[in-house]
Amino acid sequence: MALFHSCCLPTPSPPQLLSFRNSTSKYLLFTPAATPSRCRFPKLSAAVAVESPPASSADGVDSPKLLLEVRDLCAVITESRQPILKGVNLTIHEGEVHAVMGKNGSGKSTFAKVLVGHRDYEVTEGTVVFKGENLLDMAPEDRSLAGLFMSFQSPVEIPGVSNIDFLQMAYNARRRKLGEPELSPLEFYGYIAPKLESVNAKIEFLSRNVNEGFSGGEKKRNEILQLAVLGADLAILDEIDSGLDVDALRDVANAVNKLLTPTNSVLMITHYRRLLEFIKPTYIHIMDDGRIVKTGDISIAEVLEKGGYKALSAT
């Protein structure tokens, strides 16, 4: 705790801010002294952030609604108190697809898990507002019921519980929360059959125990089936492309694309441009040492693929 406080002193130097604009967004370039983080750590690098667009545009057309606003988010590992997130800033509007990339160990999965309230981590600073509510005040299950979904990098197995029972239980819990009547097993089967088709999964998928004995690719497909069944305002997909063959990647990406509407959003973590060719991101963010240090468009992934992170830091 002491380490955290000593690292989180307010910056003594005045903010230095450069801004520039393209046709759609205004970009803010923060110099190290003005990196927008309340918890400060010694290693600072220039960060580019995309400023939230105004609530309505000049021609009177409403801009998409704000879905998630993360400000100066800092988190430690609960047990060891080791700081992992060191001031994450991110804004997501409805209808946007955000991709987070970054070197191994930069904090991407931790960020995702902190958003869904994983107990391995404790938030020590910062705010997260989801659909206008303080997300950090909500229990993990309430975050899910509020419309947050996360597909884990390594989905858990639940021996003894069949996929269909698990999905029906989760879906009916959501309906109860919404004050809607629960679906009977027969009604639920009618609801899930087309979802199964949308992820190109076989019917046997439903009678198998949750993820037990599933191949890596089947587990990822099953995660997207869960997303299709439960629905979400914000789906966080952690390396949904890992371990997938080309056809499975296309299936999974197609299923995600079919779920995208103008009012929901995806935050996906990936190492590879390949996924971004199937699910087109609105923004790509680069995470480094627990912070988002760069934000831009698909060109970031192109530079990365050609020259690695070294090439990116030179841009």
Ligand X SMILES: Nc1ncnc2c1ncn2[C@@H]1O[C@H](COP(=O)(O)OP(=O)(O)OP(=O)(O)O)[C@@H](O)[C@H]1O
- Per CB under 6 A, residues contacting ligand X are 77, 84, 102, 104-110, 120
Q: Which residues, in sequence order, are bridge partners of residue 287?
A: 102, 292
Q: Closest approach of Cβ 238 to ligand X, in Å?
A: 7
Distance (Å, rounded) from C-alpha 208 to C-alpha 206?
Answer: 6
Q: Which residues, in sequence order, are bridge partners of residue 90?
A: 70
In the complex with ligand X, which residue's Cβ is closer, 102 or 281? Answer: 102
CB 198 within 8 A of CB 221: no
In the complex with ligand X, which residue's Cβ is closer, 110 or 264? Answer: 110
Q: Closest approach of Cβ 43 to ligand X, in Å?
A: 14
In the complex with ligand X, which residue's Cβ is closer, 106 or 144? Answer: 106
Q: Closest approach of Cβ 41 to ligand X, in Å?
A: 14
Q: Closest approach of Cβ 27 to ligand X, in Å?
A: 24
- Sheet bearing 133-134, strands edge to edge: 83-93, 66-77, 121-130, 133-134
Distance (Å, rounded) from C-alpha 17 to C-alpha 32?
Answer: 10
In the complex with ligand X, which residue's Cβ is closer, 153 or 211? Answer: 153
- What are the helix and strand counts (H, E) for the chain? 10, 15
CB 258 within 8 A of CB 266: no
In the complex with ligand X, which residue's Cβ is closer, 150 or 167? Answer: 150
CB 97 within 8 A of CB 64: no
In the complex with ligand X, which residue's Cβ is closer, 52 or 242? Answer: 242
Q: Closest approach of Cβ 268 to ligand X, in Å?
A: 12
Distance (Å, rounded) from C-alpha 275 to C-alpha 270?
Answer: 7
Q: Closest approach of Cβ 290 to ligand X, in Å?
A: 8
Q: Closest approach of Cβ 104 to ligand X, in Å?
A: 3
Token pair of 49, please? Answer: 């952030």
CB 84 within 8 A of CB 77: yes
Token pair of 216, please? Answer: 């890596």
In the complex with ligand X, which residue's Cβ is closer, 82 or 263? Answer: 82
Distance (Å, rounded) from C-alpha 76 to C-alpha 125?
Answer: 10
Rg of the chain taking only CA atoms, in angstroms:
20
Residue with tokens 């390949």: 274
